[in-house]
Amino acid sequence: MSQDLLELSGAPADAVRGHGWHGARLRIVVCLAVVVLALAWVAVRGLTGNFVYYLTPTDIVAHHKAQVGQRVRLGGYVMPGSVHRASSVLMFTVTDGTHSIQVADTGAVPELFKAGQGVVLEGALGTDGRFHADTTLVQHNGDYFPPKPGQPPPHRADLGLGG
């Protein structure tokens, strides 16, 4: 019966069948391309948000890669002897071994924070030349040793004067 309809239409049977298959194939290819592009976009967006980039004190002080008021991440080591508290602000100096920058931190301070420790700070460079941080992340080796049975847990971060 379908052969009769093809003959009545006046078009060759091979052309009609080929056109129908070609159209379906084209739709499948277009749909697959859309799905692949959508997955690629999601993967790229997800990966770029997970990388943690930070500037060093040398990048900020010598290379001027951060402008006043621009939110950036600053990474380096807390200089021994530079930690002190002024009212509700924790003041310290961060170095990368070449340059250093003073930091005024108004955020919560992690328990592992101490002089000589690696830190990544989130904040902005102020007009006073200090880095004004509101978030502090402490770099550590990930080793955790619970207290021995019957012993109290270790004391919280010592934020007194000095290192």
Superfamily of domain 57-138: Nucleic acid-binding proteins (2.40.50.140)
CA atoms of 80 and 9, how far apart (whole Å): 90
Return the ∠ at Cα 54 (arms to 65 and 137), rounded to 5°. Answer: 140
CA atoms of 90 and 161, how far apart (whole Å): 11
More confident residue, 45 or 125: 125
CA atoms of 69 and 125, how far apart (whole Å): 6
CA atoms of 106 and 86, how far apart (whole Å): 10
Confidence of residue 147 (pLDDT cuts 50, 70, 90): confident
Confidence of residue 42 (pLDDT cuts 50, 70, 90): confident
Give the global pTM: 0.59
CA atoms of 130 and 124, how far apart (whole Å): 9
Tell me what the mean pLDDT of segment 1-16 comes to: 52
Residue corresponding to tokens 């056109």: 19
CA atoms of 110 and 11, how far apart (whole Å): 78
- Radius of gyration (C-alpha) of the chain in whole angstroms: 31
Residue corresponding to tokens 């990966």: 47
What pLDDT, in 10s, does the model give residues 85-106?
988 899 999 999 999 999 999 9
Q: What is the pLDDT of residue 57?
A: 96
Give the three-state DSSP class for 75: strand
The two tokens of residue 22 are 């070609």
* Residue 4 pLDDT greater than 60, yes or no: no
Tell me what the mean pLDDT of segment 34-51 comes to: 80
Closest CA to 132 of 80, 66, 77: 66
- What type of residue sits at position 102? Q
